[in-house]
Amino acid sequence: MIVLEVVIPLPLNKNFYYLPPKDIDPEHIIGKRVKVQFGRRILISYVLSYKNIVHTSTFKFKKIIKIIDENPLITKETIKLANYISKNYICSLGEAFALIIPTTIKLATKSMEYKEIMSEKIVNKKYILSIDQINAVNLINKKLQDNCFANFLIHGVTASGKTEIYANAIKYALKQNKNIIMLVPEISLTIQFMDIMTEKFGQNICLWHSGISNIEKYRLFFKMKNNDIRIAIGARSAIFAPFENLGLIIIDEEHDQAYKQEQKPSYDAREIAKWRGKYHNAVVIFGSATPSLESYKNALEKKIILIELNERVCRKKFPEIKILTLENKPFSSRSLLPETIEAISKTLLKNEQIIVFLNRRGYSPVVMCKKCASVYQCSRCSIAMVFHKNQKLLKCHYCGENKKLPITCSICKSSDITIFGVGIQKVEDELIRLFNSAKIFRLDGDTAFSKNNYERAYNGIKNGEYDILLGTQMIAKGFDFPKVSLVCMVNADMQLYLPDFKAAERTFQLITQVAGRSGRGNIDGTVIVQTKHPQHYAIKYAKNHDFLSFYKVEIEQRRQLFYPPCCDIAKISIRDKNEKIAEKIAEKLSIILINLIKQYNLELKLLGPSSAYISKMNGFYRKHIIIKGYKENIIKLVGLSKNFKQFSRTFTSIEIMPSDLL
């Protein structure tokens, strides 16, 4: 009897066997997705192989219900990569396959027509490279020519011309008949890079991110597989672009935490890039003005080839960064200081553009009763609800719960309720009131619900349709607008309040990246940073554009406290709707882990269990156990404890090298 080996996209550590449909050669089903009955469910799954068995038992094999794909999707690389992900990110093989080849992508009906989004026009703009850029291009192209795996870190200050180095590397890779993946951290940035690369290389380029329809993804999948598309530009998931002749991978703004997926499988696109680069003997380029401490430490230790670009293109001046203190300032309804307002006014008079940045959605983050001082919290999360003025709603940005603004306090019944704190909608109102003739565009999680709004923001600023771009972290990096001469950061130090070992690093990166949007053209740039912590080293070094000094201070703190990049780390999350059960399970698991560490002499340290920063989320109480040490030992410990028994309603998950410990 012939049976098919099928991988089910569920957290199960075994594969299953099904009978092929009648009159179909099993060989023709290998590598395709199929529909199978699994328990009471119908699931789309993956066929790995077939084999002949002697069937003597009374067990009845179920038949494949339907073959989904016309052509195979799974390659030898897919299988090896799925195994790598399964081992290194603690997930099942089926979950890893679903990550690489989503079950949701589907074949279109024959009648559907497609409209190509790629331009056929190639604009050959002359661009003279600097000596530093030429040296960088030569180093990279030599590795491309040699067809050997190499990792590069381009540490280039903002506006130092990293994009031109990428473009030259892409051009050379195409000449070598190699395919290219380019990753950017925000979907908004794909539009800008699509414009740049289409101008330079014409067709054979595609966008790949969560905004692309499942039918379009299926079409693009086979175009990439068949070499009809040569360059894939996209966010994190584009790292799985199914090129079979991959020669170059570029990760722009490599420091960004968006490259790390939080949900299981909690993979890191940067690590997947290294794996695929090694598999294909490809070149991998990491680029950033503020590289992660992990990458820079690897570069200093010669594990990555370091390329330094310390000057802006054409020796343009760095923007002047002015620190305005919010210390000891009396409470005011205004979010912008008088000096900030004056700077915006002068910039508008000169017909230059402005970026205003605040990494907080909504109008006000706190609604409070003045009488009893109670704060209106989400019923499902231990976090204050944010007031959104336009809809007159309180919203939880974690579970999505919405409530009407209360008329009276639910605790003391007082009607003396106030809202305070600054959100981006409040800043927008203030800008409209102060500069009513200015054209303002707000780009945040509430307005960027469609690709059209990203394009409107990008094209609007680029073409001079807007005077002020107001936004959250999605405007903090990558954008290149020559007419922007002023950047204003409202409450620039918000990250410093978080109890996370990366708080200072993220603050330095954020200020440097946002500041880098200013003065990129022929106009000198100015940056205003409003902060309550003007003396903090992250802010002082950012003011002076001094990454190396910041790195030296921060890496020494990490060494003393034994945190990455001086070790590896994992976060175990225990979640239950009953807080006492969550505590009990966390304590029990902690004891098991401690005993295993001693028994097997593993060089690991445990922190916790303790409540998460947001102790209750989406109705579940959350406890964390932190493991510090080296990855091999962490994975071994997790493997030894995999048979840990818990209550059926309790959820336990592990994230290797999490982006934060919150």
Count of CB atoms within 10 A of residue 214's CB? 13
Quote the pLDDT of residue 300.
97
In terms of pLDDT, which residue wins out, 406 or 574? 574
β-pair type (179-183, 231-234): parallel
SS3 of residue 296 by DSSP: helix
pLDDT-based confidence at residue 552 (cuts at 50, 70, 90):
very high
Q: Please list, in sequence order, all residues whose beta carbon lies within 8 angstroms of the beta carbon of residue 167, skipping any fewer than 6 positions away.
A: 196, 197, 200
Quote the pLDDT of residue 285.
98
Closest CA to 547 of 522, 516, 520: 516
**Could you report the per-residue pLDDT of 203-249, keeping only the tens digit for each?**
789 999 877 889 999 999 999 999 999 999 999 999 999 999 999 99
pLDDT-based confidence at residue 121 (cuts at 50, 70, 90):
very low
What predicted TM-score, i.e. pTM, was given to this entire model?
Answer: 0.93
161 touches 313 (CB < 8 A): yes
Superfamily of domain 568-656: Ribosomal protein S10 (3.30.70.600)
Span of 180-184, 396-400, 417-421 with lowest mean pLDDT: 417-421
Question: Is the pLDDT at 110 greater than 60, yes or no?
Answer: no
364 touches 515 (CB < 8 A): no
162 touches 154 (CB < 8 A): yes
459 touches 233 (CB < 8 A): no
51 touches 2 (CB < 8 A): yes
Q: What is d(CA 5, CA 597) in angstroms, rounded to the nearest whole number? A: 37
CATH architecture of the region 2-100: 3-Layer(aba) Sandwich (3.40)
Quote the pLDDT of residue 381.
94
List where CATH 3.30.70.600 sits in the chain: 568-656
- From residue 602, how far is each of 43, 164, 359, 622, 640 by CA, in Å? 40, 47, 41, 26, 11
Quote the pLDDT of residue 119.
43
356 touches 490 (CB < 8 A): yes
What's the whole-number average pLDDT of the chain? 91
In terms of pLDDT, which residue wins out, 344 or 210? 344
Q: What is d(CA 511, CA 377) in angstroms, rounded to the nearest whole number? A: 30
Quote the pLDDT of residue 114.
43
Quote the pLDDT of residue 420.
80
pLDDT-based confidence at residue 116 (cuts at 50, 70, 90):
very low
Query: What is the CATH code of the structural domain delimited by 131-314?
Result: 3.40.50.300
**Could you report the per-residue pLDDT of 15-67, keeping only the tens digit for each?**
999 999 888 999 999 999 999 999 999 999 999 998 888 766 667 889 999 99
Report helix angle 76-88 to 93-100, nearest 10. Answer: 120
- From residue 538, how far is each of 200, 315, 535 by CA, in Å? 38, 25, 9
Average pLDDT value for residue range 329-335: 67
Q: Please list, in sequence order, all residues whose beta carbon lies within 8 angstroms of the beta carbon of residue 617, skipping any fewer than 6 positions away.
A: 380, 381, 382, 383, 398, 399
Q: Please list, in sequence order, all residues whose beta carbon lies within 8 angstroms of the beta carbon of residue 33, skipping any fewer than 6 positions away.
A: 44, 45, 46, 47, 67, 68, 69, 73, 101, 103
Quote the pLDDT of residue 58.
67
**Could you report the per-residue pLDDT of 140-172, keeping only the tens digit for each?**
999 999 999 999 999 999 989 999 999 999 999
List where CATH 3.40.50.300 sits in the chain: 131-314, 316-360+422-557
524 touches 319 (CB < 8 A): yes
- Looking at residue 600, its amino acid is Y
Quote the pLDDT of residue 239.
97
Cα 155 → chain centroid: 19
Q: What is d(CA 319, CA 507) in angstroms, rounded to the nearest whole number? A: 18
Query: What is the CATH code of the structural domain delimited by 316-360+422-557?
Result: 3.40.50.300
